[in-house]
Amino acid sequence: MSVYERRVTRAGLLKAGAAGAVGLTFARPAFGGLTQLEATTLNWLTWSDHYANDQLAAVAKKIGIRGRPTLFSDNADAYLKIKRTGSQFDIVSGDALWVPKYHKDGLTESFDLSSLPVSKQLFSIARSFPFWKDGSNYMGYPFSWSTVQIYYNPKYVTTVPDSWHALLDKKYAGKISLENIPTDVMAIAGRATGAKKPYSMTSGEISRAKAFLKSFKPNVLKLASQNNEVVRALADGSAWIGITNLGTDDRVKDAGGPVVKPAYPKEGTVGFIDSEQIVKASKNKAVFEKFINTTEQAPWIAKNFLTNGRPLFNEKAWKLLVNQGHGDRAKRLLYNQPQKALQMTIKGPAGDEQAYVDAFNEVFGA
Amino acid sequence: MNTATEAAPAPPVDSQPLSESAGGRRFRIAEYAGFVPALVLYGAFFAVPLGIIVAYSFWKVVDYNVVHQWTIDNYRYFFSVATYVRTLWATIWVSVLSTVLTIAVAFPFAYWLVRYVPKRMQRTLLVLVILPFWTSYLLRVYSWLNILGDQGAINRLLQWTHLTDHPVSFFLYDRPAVVLVLVYLYFPFAALTLYASLERFDWDQFKAAMDLGARPLTAMRRILLPQIKPGLTTAVIFVFIPILGEYLAPQLVGGARGVMIGNLIVNFFSGAEYTRGAAASLLIAVLIIVLLVIFRRSLEIKDPYASGR
């Protein structure tokens, strides 16, 4: 009987399988470098505008580290996910004063920013935010920033809404769209009603902010779960006013919508400065710097700006944009003025999160 | 009559009680083996999480941490805020209205399908009914934005026919939009359940009732409906209960005026208010359990032939 004619018995098959498994186990170290290169995946809790799929694919191809994003909308939501899940995530994006909160609570780890060659592409101001310093280390890699302001459709809104109180006008009933982020909406209401620290309001200030939101509610068309829904509502004309990030005018135009214009409320506004942080419980901390060093390169950041339209902290990308003929757009959206980021009320955890969410829900329920 | 002297008939062989021998026990274990996967699944992924939610609803949150201190504050708070009670009622009536409309659309469809459509064609139409399931739930809800929006199909039609010269905002971002989308989303569940029930119905009884002088509506009310009551109840359960917990449809098409309790629960959870969120979720769960207890009686059917068995 030739080897080809030999009958395959169940016992023979099991033996061959076991031998194969043992062989593979012993052979693995020999290909260790290769398998690690192909298999490293960084679970990244982030916003949809922090990456592009082609960027992640190119990075994986180049350095063998694949970023696997999971999206969140609210900082509080991401903070809780990291707190609950620990090592399931390797990188988490966070806003301004949320970053020290993560760090103080032992959820993230600071690092030597200057050890990342790509950090030299950043505006110098982004390398020295006092609230992100941890001795000589930095708590996060600076990414982007934006004010949260008013965008309006001049076809329907004939008087520039230069105050939050202008949004209470009854002629805007059901015509304003904004994101459903209770803490930030409360902070904006705090700004409108003169709270000194919109993210740490006293109970009296919370009451005033709540009263403002009650008057504001009839004018709200939609509390959007994602920023792109606000853009969509402005683009299809169902919303006349949006409370949203810088660059919305370009995004609405790109979506085939009408001309919308920005307005800066005289009471001031809130805004974000966001970053990428290393999750302390991550098992892949060693590859964080390599990953950031590749994904945050100027060409990718310039492309990100053109897609998402709000300023980023990569100065080399600014120069690229100017060279590519996008300088006017970048300038209009304050890309070359990162110092403006420190003039707004930056986002952070609420002093009393429960009071903020309660007040918000009490207004926006049925 | 002296019954003691009468010989009792020997029980049939197949009705002998199972012996308590090892073989008998093995048989019993084997009988229950099929139940184990469902027990594990529902135990681990339903009963245990439900228990956790119950416990959470009686604890409190301090600085983003759940503190294991027993309290009924979350419930007291919920019922002390008029907005929440109003939202709960709004959720219930939107669910009731959507369920009634869904059944009102699905019943005539299933009736027509069973009575007047040839068997082969029935299968084709049933495939068409479940066709929306081939796309994602999110996509199905999103597509309504293109139908109901200011630039949507309905507004374009109205403007094209010169019935209006500007977009009508009534269709989107309000409760009617939520109800409409919910009816669309849950129609297949009701239609399939009612079809299965109507298909098993003995239509000769219906004809007999008519032959005996009953009007069609009377025959339907007195002959058909009592016999398909379990199917009707199942359809109501399949539609009403998931709608109670709906979050996405009101979020996307309901706007600020179409909020349901699910939207507030999401805000509670995303804002770290686990305990408040758990209490609100549990109120919905309790409502569902009460309804299931009520519906349970409707799932029983009286013997239509009065055979006495």
Tell me the two tokens of residue A206.
């919370």
Does the pLDDT of residue B54 top 70, yes or no? yes
Is B176 contained in some domain?
Answer: yes
Asked if B259 lies within 8 A of A357 by C-beta distance, the reply is no
Closest CA to A205 of A192, A195, A218: A195
Asked if B173 lies within 8 A of A356 by C-beta distance, the reply is no
Distances (CA, A) of A98 to A159, A271, A351: 36, 13, 12
Average pLDDT taken over every residue of chain B: 86
Does the pLDDT of residue A99 top 60, yes or no? yes
Is B33 contained in some domain?
Answer: no
CATH T-level topology, domain A146-271+347-364? D-Maltodextrin-Binding Protein; domain 2 (3.40.190)
Cα Rg of chain A, angstroms: 25
In chain A, residues with a C-beta closer than 8 Å to the C-beta of B84 are: 361-362, 365
What confidence tens digit (pLDDT) does each residue in A117-153 have?
Answer: 999 999 999 999 999 999 999 999 999 999 999 999 9
Identical fold between A35-145+273-342 and A146-271+347-364: yes
B255 at A interface, C-beta within 8 A: yes
Choose from B145, B267, B276, B281 for mutation: most chain A CBs within 10 A. Answer: B267
Average pLDDT score over residue span B209-216? 91
Average pLDDT score over residue span A96-109? 96
B166 at A interface, C-beta within 8 A: no
What confidence tens digit (pLDDT) does each residue in A283-340 have?
Answer: 999 999 999 999 999 999 999 999 888 999 999 999 999 999 999 999 999 999 999 9
Length of chain A: 366
Choose from A184, A200, A354 for mutation: most chain B CBs within 10 A. Answer: A354
Domain boundaries, chain A: 35-145+273-342, 146-271+347-364
What number is the ipTM of this complex? Answer: 0.74
What confidence tens digit (pLDDT) does each residue in A180-225 have?
Answer: 989 999 999 999 999 999 999 999 999 999 999 999 999 999 999 8
Average pLDDT score over residue span B262-276? 89
Task: Please name the residues between 83 and 122 in chain B that touch chain A, using a CB distance below 8 Å.
Answer: 83-84, 86-87, 89-91
Q: How many helices (H) and strands (E) does chain A have?
A: 14, 13
Tell me which DSSP letter residue A176 carries. E
Choose from A238, A352, A358 for mutation: most chain B CBs within 10 A. Answer: A238
Is B13 contained in some domain?
Answer: no
Question: What are the residues whose beta carbons fall under 8 Å from the beta carbon of B19, sequence distance 6 or more?
Answer: none
CATH number, residue B98:
1.10.3720.10
> Residue A38: which pLDDT band, with cuts at 50, 70 and 90?
low
Closest CA to B182 of B129, B251, B125, B119: B251
Does the pLDDT of residue A365 top 50, yes or no? yes
What CATH homologous superfamily does A35-145+273-342 map to?
Answer: Periplasmic binding protein-like II (3.40.190.10)
What confidence tens digit (pLDDT) does each residue in B63-104 have?
Answer: 888 899 999 999 999 999 999 999 999 999 999 999 999 999
Number of domains in chain B: 1
pLDDT of A122 reads: 97
In chain B, residues with a C-beta closer than 8 Å to the C-beta of A223 are: 255-256
Does the pLDDT of residue B19 top 90, yes or no? no
B256 at A interface, C-beta within 8 A: yes
Q: Please give the model's pTM, rounded to 2 decimal places.
A: 0.78
Asked if residue B59 lies in contact with residue B276, where contact means CB atoms within 8 angstroms, the answer is no
> Residue A76: which pLDDT band, with cuts at 50, 70 and 90?
confident
Size of interface A-B (CB pairs under 8 A): 102
Is B258 contained in some domain?
Answer: yes
**Domain of residue B104, residue span:** 76-298
pLDDT of A3 reads: 40
